[in-house]
Structure 1
Amino acid sequence: MPFALGLRIPLLLGLGLTVAGCAHYAPAPLPEAAPLAPALAAIPDLPARPLTIGDVAALAVARNPDLQAARTRRGVAEAQLVQAGVLPNPSLTGAILPLLSGAGSVPAWNLGLAQDIKSLIVLKPKRRSARDSLHQVEADLLWQEWQVAGQARQLAADIVLGDRLRPMLEQAYALMAKRQAAGRKALEAGNSTLATLAPSAVALQTARAALLQQDQALLANRHKLNALLGIAPEVVLPLADAIDLPPFQPTEIRAMLATLPQRRPDLLALRAGYAAQDEQLRVAILSQFPDLVLGASVSSDNAKVINGGPNAQIGLPVFDRNQGNIAIARATRAQLNREYAARLATVTGEVGALLAEHAQIALQLAATRHDLAEARRAADRAAAAFAAANLDERAFVDLLGTRFSKEQEAMTLEIALIDRQVAIQTLIGADLPAVDTLGFPDPGTAGAAR
Structure 2
Amino acid sequence: MRSVTHVLVRVVLAAGLPAVLGCASVPPAPPAYPSRAVPVSVSPPAPRPAGAAPRGEDTDTAVRPASAVEPVPAFPGLNDLLALAQARNPDLAAAAARVGEARGRMVQAGLYPNPTVGYSGNQINDGPGTPGQQGGYVAQEFVTAGKLRIATAAARAGVSAADWQAASTWFDTAARVRTAYVEYLTARAVLRETERTAELFAGGLDRAEKLTAGGKAEAYDVTRLRVETVQIANRVGGARQRVAAAERLLAVAVGVAQLPAIAEGELPPAVALPGYDEAVELTGRSSFVLAAAAEAEQARGELRAAEVRPVPNVHTMTTVAHDYTTRAPMASVQVGVPLPVFDRNRGNIAAAQARLVAAEAGVEQARLRATERLAGAYQRYENARRQLDLYRTRVLPDAAAALEQIDRVYAARGERFLDTLDARRVLTQARIDYTQTLGDLWAAAAEIEAVTQPGR
Q: Structure 2 length as normaliser, TM-score?
A: 0.73
Residue 25 of structure 2 corresponds to: none
CA 1:268–1:162 in 2, change beyond 3 Å: closer, same or farther?
Answer: same
1:268 corresponds to which of 272, 281, 290: 290
**Runs (5+) with no aligned partner, structure 1:** 15-49, 435-450
Distance (whole Å) between structure 1 residues aligned to residue 293 and residue 318 of structure 2: 44
Q: 1:392: how far off?
A: 7.1
Secondary structure class of the residue paired with 2:298: helix
CA 1:234–1:360 in 2, change beyond 3 Å: closer, same or farther?
Answer: closer
Structure 2 residue 430 is the aligned partner of structure 1 residue 406: yes
Q: 1:292: how far off?
A: 3.5
2:260 corresponds to which of 232, 235, 259: 235
Structure 2 residue 158 is the aligned partner of structure 1 residue 133: yes
Q: 1:310: how far off?
A: 2.6
Distance (whole Å) between structure 1 residues aligned to residue 156 and residue 259 of structure 2: 44
Distance (whole Å) between structure 1 residues aligned to residue 107 and residue 190 of structure 2: 56
Structure 2 residue 325 is the aligned partner of structure 1 residue 303: yes
Residue 160 of structure 1 corresponds to: 185
Secondary structure class of the residue paired with 1:92: strand
Percent identical pairs in the alignment equals 17
Q: 1:284: how far off?
A: 0.8
Distance (whole Å) between structure 1 residues aligned to residue 108 and residue 383 of structure 2: 54
1:336 corresponds to which of 339, 355, 359: 359
Distance (whole Å) between structure 1 residues aligned to residue 172 and residue 117 of structure 2: 53
Distance (whole Å) between structure 2 residues aligned to residue 192 and residue 403 of structure 1: 23
Secondary structure class of the residue paired with 1:267: helix
Secondary structure class of the residue paired with 1:402: helix
Secondary structure class of the residue paired with 1:88: coil
**Runs (5+) with no aligned partner, structure 2:** 14-73
2:316 corresponds to which of 294, 300, 303: 294
Shifted more, 344-353 versus 276-285: the winner is 344-353
- Which residues of 2 match residues 59-78 of structure 1 at below 5 A? 59-60=83-84, 62-66=86-90, 67-78=92-103
Deviations 1:94-123 (A, max 9, x none): 333573565683333353322223477411
Residue 176 of structure 2 corresponds to: 151
Distance (whole Å) between structure 1 residues aligned to residue 202 and residue 115 of structure 2: 88
Deviations 1:119-154 (A, max 9, x none): 774110111122222222222222222222223333
Distance (whole Å) between structure 2 residues aligned to residue 289 and residue 6 of structure 1: 35
Distance (whole Å) between structure 1 residues aligned to residue 301 and residue 437 of structure 2: 50
Residue 395 of structure 2 corresponds to: 371
Mapped contact 2:387–2:437 kept (Cα < 8 A)? yes
Distance (whole Å) between structure 1 residues aligned to residue 397 and residue 269 of structure 2: 26
Q: 1:173: how far off?
A: 0.6
Residue 306 of structure 2 corresponds to: 284
Letter of the 1:416 partner, please give it.
Answer: D
Structure 2 residue 197 is the aligned partner of structure 1 residue 172: yes
Secondary structure class of the residue paired with 1:310: strand
2:349 corresponds to which of 319, 326, 333: 326
Letter of the 2:301 partner, please give it.
Answer: E
Residue 67 of structure 2 corresponds to: none
Deviations 1:337-357 (A, max 9, x none): 112211111212322332233
Structure 2 residue 227 is the aligned partner of structure 1 residue 202: yes
Mapped contact 1:168–1:404 kept (Cα < 8 A)? yes
Root-mean-square deviation (CA, aligned residues, Å) is: 3.8
Distance (whole Å) between structure 1 residues aligned to residue 282 and residue 427 of structure 2: 46
Deviations 1:298-336 (A, max 9, x none): 456673476533322322323221111111111111111
Distance (whole Å) between structure 2 residues aligned to residue 137 and residue 244 of structure 1: 38
Distance (whole Å) between structure 1 residues aligned to residue 199 and residue 271 of structure 2: 37
